[in-house]
Amino acid sequence: MSKPKALATRPLFPAAREILDRNFDVEYWPVQDKIPRAELLQRVAEKDALLCLLTEKIDSELLVAAPKLRIVSTVSVGYDHIDVPACTRRNVMVTNTPGVLDETTADLAWALLMAVARRVVEGDAWIRSGTWPGWELDQLLGGDVYGKTLGVVGFGRIGRGVARRALGFQMRVLYFNRTRVAEQTEKELHAEFVGLDRLLRESDFVTLHVPLSAETRHLISADAFEKMKRTAYLINTARGPVVDEAALARALEEKKLAGAALDVYESEPKVYPALLSRRDVILVPHIGSASVETRTKMAVMAATNAAEFFAGRRPPNALNADVLHS
């Protein structure tokens, strides 16, 4: 019997290819660069499965172009790039890669938090410029991390991982979430459930971990910066549009907060121009989950989701399991 046909929008990694090649007749986009939209629409046309990344928009246009498609398996936990209801309407299963990237992404949030508070990137640039005159009492003074208040917005897998790391820094942890977590989890993480207003007013570090949705788009905007402490820092490793970048740039200019560290942007790969020249901002290129181990696990997980589906089983990370019953 012939194997189902799959399109993978990147070459992926050997461990994931091994699973895909065993189960599918696979066409791989041959380079580690974004597949042009026209190529994607053309190559997906006769495919049964699509393995994609978060940079590819999976919308009605693509679904119409791919009438045989049965599954979209994204190599990411976030799925705001996929119109899941449109997939469900066309009986297309959608899967993602939750869990395997939590610790790696929480590590990056902490790397950004520490770096922005202690001005690590500015220090590095100064040394490399050859103009550092040697130790002085008032050089590159930042903010303390130890013993401060951490505000976690979105207390899911990654948000809780970030809070767990704060235990070692003896921090007070406030969290804002759609639903309150179990009392036992709050106790273990020394975390207090508060409204967003209070979190913004009392936190020294505000770290974002909500998915992008209609409710979370521009959750952090001009109004939020009015509430934050002037000495506070914002860290965003969630999704760019959760923050109004223009409002952030204005707030930094007006010294309404002390700094920001961003991994994600409103219109990736573009960055709001006024942020690029600011010394109180650290910018990294959406590398939250970018460790060798974690990216490999994500690709394997995405390949497994697709293979399980075509083996007639429920994929481990189905986002619209109702498709199986229709």
Tell me the catalytic residues.
239, 268, 286
Binding partner of residue 158 among ligand GLV, ligand NAP, none, CB under 5 to 8 Å per kind? ligand NAP
Helix axes 102-117, 292-310, angle to 10 degrees: 150
Write the binding mask 91 to 110 for ligand GLV: x where contact by CB under 6 A, - elsewhere.
----------x---------
Burial of 232 (0-12, 13-18, 19+ CB in 10 A): buried
CA–CA distance, 190 with 58 (Å, rounded to integer): 40
CA–CA distance, 277 with 263 (Å, rounded to integer): 16
Q: Which stretch binds ligand GLV (CB under 6 A): 70-78, 83-91, 129-137, 228-236?
A: 70-78
> Binding to ligand NAP by residue 298, rule CB under 6 A?
no
CA–CA distance, 75 with 296 (Å, rounded to integer): 10
Residue in 72, 77, 113, 199 binding ligand GLV, rule: CB under 6 A: 77
Write the binding mask 277 to 306 for ligand GLV: x where contact by CB under 6 A, - elsewhere.
-----------xx-----------------
Min CB(120)–ligand NAP separation in Å: 19
Phi, psi for residue 162 in degrees, rounded to 5: -65, -45
User: Please, which contacts does 116-122 make with residues 24 or more away whose CB atoms are closer than 8 Å?
Assistant: 116/233, 116/235, 116/259, 116/260, 116/261, 116/280, 116/281, 116/282, 117/142, 117/143, 117/144, 117/145, 117/205, 117/233, 117/259, 118/142, 118/143, 118/145, 121/282, 122/279
> Binding to ligand GLV by residue 76, rule CB under 6 A?
yes
Write the binding mask 158 to 197 for ligand NAP: x where contact by CB under 6 A, - elsewhere.
xx-----------------xxx------------------
Binding partner of residue 177 among ligand GLV, ligand NAP, none, CB under 5 to 8 Å per kind? ligand NAP
Beta strand 149-153 pairing with 205-208: parallel
Which is nearest to 203 in space by CA: 248, 225, 172?
Answer: 172
Residues facing 259 on adjacent strands: 233
Q: Report whether 185 contacts 173 (CB < 8 A).
A: no
4 versus 154: smaller Cβ distance to ligand NAP: 154
Residue in 47, 70, 148, 239 binding ligand NAP, rule: CB under 6 A: 239
Binding partner of residue 103 among ligand NAP, ligand GLV, none, CB under 5 to 8 Å per kind? none
Tokens of 5: 């046909």
Min CB(261)–ligand GLV separation in Å: 16
Tell me the chain's radius of gyration from C-alpha atoms. Answer: 22
- Give the residue at shortest CB distance from ligand GLV: 78
Binding partner of residue 209 among ligand NAP, ligand GLV, none, CB under 5 to 8 Å per kind? ligand NAP
> Binding to ligand NAP by residue 294, rule CB under 6 A?
no
- Give the residue at shortest CB distance from ligand NAP: 156
Residue in 6, 8, 26, 101 binding ligand NAP, rule: CB under 6 A: 101
Contacting positions for ligand GLV (CB under 6 A): 54, 76-78, 101, 288-289
